[in-house]
């Protein structure tokens, strides 16, 4: 228990180093015991640097997800009420949809180290080797159906926030829900829903984040437009720290969504990489080319075509056409 406390204090330190004195005071133990727990954490695979007169700092963490590292001190209201962590599953989304239909509570999170049948948008596969994050969150928002697509935008905002906080990378969002770093995709969302007439029964928000995998695990065509957080930052990332921050950010933004969905749209717009660019949007058997003018109240992309007509699309693949940013 104290070992976990020390680990959490080190993990959540914004300043970098935490002094032995501060760790002892906050954990309520002696400095000798702090040192013993630091040694024990090193024995469990954590790299911990000790600098005289500054304190301790985590430099590396074992790349395994463990319940006992994810849950303690998470302090979320809804998200992560129940956490199910599996070594492998066909798809966390499929499992979470089944669990939701069988009554699992709102905020239940299903996480897997690998997926054998990971699902992407538009019926594609989501290749899911070890080293990344694959999770699905069960939500039961009491909102009308037309507000449901905003849940995906809310998820994108939370992912960007978690990546920026944990990895210090300038992540942004390409409509509808691709998270990009340096122009390449690092994360995607797949939302599935069960509804009755005009009401949401439950929603499963599925999130894949490419963290530490070898890019060689992907087929060439996908690899070209993909990066990982490790590749973008030049060092392996602590998946547990990222996951915990993501659960906190989802908790915060889901609450904002329930109180005032306009706030989510405002944040999404400020993080987006699409609006103001010339784009080609393919989907539903056609490709539209024009200026991405904005997103509407339901998160649909508004495109101004060259002949002056305005089109609104709710799904598709966007290519940002180079060298044509407007405004």
Binding site for ligand BTN (CB under 6 A): 91-93, 115, 118-121, 124, 126, 134-136, 178, 188-190, 206-208
Say if CB 134 and CB 127 are below 8 A apart: no
Structural tokens at position 167: 């990895």
28, burial (CB in 10 Å: exposed 0-12, middle 13-18, buried 19+): exposed
The kind and range of the H/E element at 67 are helix 67-70
DSSP 222-259: HHHTB--HHHHHTS---HHHHHHHHHHHHHHHHHHHHH
Q: Which residue number is nearest to ligand BTN in terms of Cβ? A: 188
Closest CB 119 distance from ligand BTN, rounded Å? 4
**Taking the mean position of all CA atoms in its chain, how far away is CA 88?**
19
Q: Least Å distance between CB 156 and ligand BTN? A: 10
Nearer to ligand BTN by Cβ, of 135 and 139: the residue is 135
CB of 127 to ligand BTN, least distance (A): 10
- 119 vs 248, beta carbon nearer ligand BTN: 119
Please identify, using beta-carbon distances, which residue of 172 and 188 lies nearer to ligand BTN: 188
Q: How far is the CB of 57 from ligand BTN (least distance, A)?
A: 31
Nearer residue to ligand BTN within complex by CB, 41 or 97 = 97
| CA 257/CA 241 separation, integer angstroms | 24
Q: How many residues in the chain?
A: 327
Separation of alpha carbons 148 and 195, rounded Å: 10
Least gap, CB of 90 to ligand BTN (angstroms): 8
Q: Which is nearer to ligand BTN, 107 or 206 (CB)?
A: 206
Identity of the residue, 207 or 213, whose beta carbon is nearer to ligand BTN in the bound complex: 207
- Closer by beta carbon to ligand BTN, 4 or else 63: 63
Closest CB 120 distance from ligand BTN, rounded Å: 3
Least separation in angstroms between residue 96's CB and ligand BTN is 8
Is 36 in contact with 27 (CB distance < 8 Å)? no
Q: What is the dihedral of CA 150, 153, 158, 164, to 10 degrees?
A: -160
Count Cβ atoms below 10 Å from residue 115 Cβ, excluding itself.
Answer: 25
């Amino acid at each position: 228990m104290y070992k976990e406390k020390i680990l959490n204090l080190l993990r959540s330190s914004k300043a970098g180093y935490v002094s032995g004195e501060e760790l002892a005071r906050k954990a309520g133990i002696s400095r000798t015991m702090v040192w013993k727990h630091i040694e024990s954490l090193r024995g469990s695979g954590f790299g911990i640097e000790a600098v005289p007169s500054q304190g301790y700092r985590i430099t590396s963490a074992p790349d395994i997800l463990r319940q006992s590292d994810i849950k303690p001190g998470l302090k979320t209201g809804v998200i992560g009420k129940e956490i199910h962590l599996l070594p492998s599953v066909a798809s966390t989304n499929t499992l979470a949809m089944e669990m939701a239909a069988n009554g699992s509570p709102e905020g239940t999170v299903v996480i897997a180290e690998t997926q054998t049948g990971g699902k992407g948008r538009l019926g594609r596969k989501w290749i899911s080797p070890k080293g990344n994050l694959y999770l699905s969150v069960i939500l039961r928002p009491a909102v009308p159906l037309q507000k449901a697509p905003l849940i995906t935008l809310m998820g994108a905002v939370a992912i960007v926030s978690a990546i920026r906080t944990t990895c210090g990378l300038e992540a942004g969002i390409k409509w509808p829900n691709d998270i990009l770093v340096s122009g390449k995709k690092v994360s995607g969302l797949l939302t599935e829903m069960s509804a009755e007439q005009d009401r949401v029964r439950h929603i499963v928000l599925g999130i894949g984040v490419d963290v530490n995998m070898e890019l060689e695990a992907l087929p060439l065509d996908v690899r070209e437009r993909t990066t990982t957080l490790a590749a973008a930052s030049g060092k392996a990332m602590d998946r547990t720290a990222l996951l915990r921050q993501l659960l906190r950010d989802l908790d915060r933004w889901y609450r904002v969504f329930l109180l005032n969905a306009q706030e989510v749209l405002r944040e999404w717009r400020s993080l987006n990489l699409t609006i103001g660019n010339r784009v080609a949007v393919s989907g539903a058997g056609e490709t539209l080319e024009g200026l991405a003018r904005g997103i509407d109240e339901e998160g649909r992309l508004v495109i101004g075509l060259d002949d002056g007509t305005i089109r609104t699309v709710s799904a598709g693949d966007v290519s940002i056409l180079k060298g044509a940013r407007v405004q």
